[in-house]
């Protein structure tokens, strides 16, 4: 039996900090650096009123400091901690620490990141957690799990011992073969101190290169609620897979044997790149933080507003804030993918 006093907190657990890995000329953002930096600064302005920031930066941190000083004000700079590290890309959700809470303090789990199944370069990003640990930025016990590939965007926790994930991702090639599903599940339950895993076998998002990360499709929310992407258009390429996903969600039960409260999010209007390829716009890629939920928007008022209304139903006491994420989906991610939260108790005390 798992130790119930050690657990992977839900995202709505009170937070100390959020990590961003800052875009720079050496990443795929080099041709749209101004636009993506503006998006990151917009996230910073909203989040810095609620949490500290850990920013992974390379090179020239003084440039990022100047950008932030103009965007968030000098008075907020003490709430920002910089970590110097070379980086391949900016998707902090997938190369950041996964943090457990335990009686003896936080546990900072460092899993192997291999570019979503060896699709993209990852040697620098795979070292970020160790650099953070070496620079002594966080409270907690470092735990090395570099023999197991796991991305933060591939798992959801309800904070009560249940993990939600997709079989398409965790069983995808170049992740953890030759381990079987049963072996992968056993290791996850042990490492995450969880009691059970709910496997979604359906779900698809055009333009996604993560092999169906759960945070693009369905998300745990308070009070045994799951927010999920719903497709109602039979002519849309997502209709069959998302309908099957919805049917499977309806079959899931809580540990008390009750059905989950399911709250559908609208399918985002199709967005295409210059080559005519559909981009992975999804409203499920929202970030829950202290007193607020940041939701991605895509310059379509009808669906943007509807998504915000649905999220507000789930979080009636939170402020729902839209962040224009059109630039983020050009590199096949969105808002949640850019961020990684750290629960209360993980930041070292600093003077502000």
Mean pLDDT of 179-194: 98
> How much is the average pLDDT of 178-204?
97
Per-residue pLDDT of 274-313, as tens digits, reads 999 999 999 999 999 999 999 999 999 999 999 999 999 9
> Phi, psi at residue 131, to the nearest 5°?
-65, -40
> Residues 102, 138: contact at Cβ < 8 Å?
no
- Four-CA torsion 81, 86, 90, 91, nearest 10 degrees: -90
Mean pLDDT score of the chain, rounded to an integer?
A: 96
| CATH class belonging to 15-343 | alpha beta
Range in 51-60, 226-235, 308-317 the model is least confident about: 51-60
Question: What share of the chain in percent tops pLDDT 90?
Answer: 94
* Model confidence pLDDT, tens digit, residues 100-113: 999 999 999 999 99
Q: What is the pLDDT of residues 11-59, one digit of tens each?
A: 999 999 999 999 999 999 999 999 999 999 999 999 999 999 999 998 7
Compute φ and ψ for 185, nearest 5 degrees: -60, -45
Q: What is the pLDDT of residue 75?
A: 86
* DSSP states along 254-287: -TTSPBPEEEEEEPPPP-B-TTSPBP---TT--E
- The stretch 220-248 carries a mean pLDDT of 98
pLDDT band at residue 4, thresholds of 50, 70 and 90? low
Which residues lie below 8 Å from residue 41, measured CB to CB, with a gap of 6+? 67, 68, 71, 72
Q: What per-residue confidence (pLDDT) applies to 1? A: 40
pLDDT surpassing 90 at residue 147: yes
The pLDDT value recorded for residue 350 is 62
Q: Return all residues near 3 (Cβ < 8 A) that are at least 6 apart.
A: 102, 193
% of the chain with per-residue pLDDT over 70? 98
Give the other-Cβ count within 10 Å of 327's Cβ. Answer: 17
Contact 217, 228 (CB under 8 A): yes
pLDDT at 60: 75
Please name the residues in contact with 185: beta carbons below 8 A apart, sequence gap of 6 or more: 197
Q: Band of the pLDDT at 61, cuts 50, 70, 90?
A: confident
The pLDDT, as a whole number, for residue 282 is 98
* Whole-angstrom distance, CA of residue 4 vs CA of residue 291: 26
User: Is the pLDDT confidence value at 223 over 90?
Assistant: yes
Residue ranges of domains in the chain: 15-343
Burial track 20-52 (b if 16+ CB lie within 10 A, e otherwise): bbbbbeebbbeeeeeebbebbebbbebbbeebb
């Amino acid at each position: 039996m798992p130790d119930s006093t050690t657990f992977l907190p839900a995202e709505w657990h009170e937070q100390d900090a959020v990590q961003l890995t800052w875009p720079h000329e050496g990443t795929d953002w080099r041709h749209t650096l101004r636009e993506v930096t503006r998006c990151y600064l917009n996230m910073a302005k909203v989040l810095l009123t609620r949490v500290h920031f850990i920013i992974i930066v390379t090179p020239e941190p003084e440039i990022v400091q100047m950008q932030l000083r103009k965007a968030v004000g000098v008075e907020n700079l003490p709430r920002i901690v910089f970590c110097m590290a070379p980086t391949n890309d900016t998707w902090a959700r997938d190369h950041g620490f996964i943090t457990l809470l335990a009686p003896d303090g936080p546990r900072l789990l460092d899993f192997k990141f291999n570019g979503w199944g060896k699709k993209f370069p990852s040697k620098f990003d795979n070292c970020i957690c160790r650099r953070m640990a070496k620079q002594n930025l966080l409270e907690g016990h470092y735990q090395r799990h570099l023999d197991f590939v796991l991305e933060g965007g591939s798992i959801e926790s309800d904070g009560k011992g249940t993990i939600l994930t997709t079989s398409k991702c965790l069983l995808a090639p170049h992740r953890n073969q030759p381990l079987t599903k049963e072996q992968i599940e056993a290791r996850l339950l042990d490492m995450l101190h969880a009691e059970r895993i709910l496997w979604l076998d359906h779900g698809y998002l055009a333009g996604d290169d993560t092999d169906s990360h759960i945070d693009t499709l369905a998300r745990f929310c308070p009070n045994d609620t799951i927010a999920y992407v719903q497709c109602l258009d039979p002519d849309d390429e997502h209709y069959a897979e998302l309908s099957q996903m919805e049917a499977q969600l309806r079959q899931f039960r809580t540990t008390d044997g009750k059905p989950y409260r399911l709250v559908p999010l609208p399918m985002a209007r199709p967005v295409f790149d210059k080559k005519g390829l559909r981009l992975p716009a999804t409203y499920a890629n929202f970030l829950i933080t202290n007193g607020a939920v940041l939701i991605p928007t895509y310059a379509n008022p009808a669906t943007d507003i509807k998504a915000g209304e649905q999220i507000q139903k789930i979080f009636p006491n939170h402020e729902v804030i839209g962040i224009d994420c059109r630039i983020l989906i050009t590199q096949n991610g969105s808002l949640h993918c850019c961020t990684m939260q750290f629960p209360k108790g993980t930041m070292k005390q600093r003077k502000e």
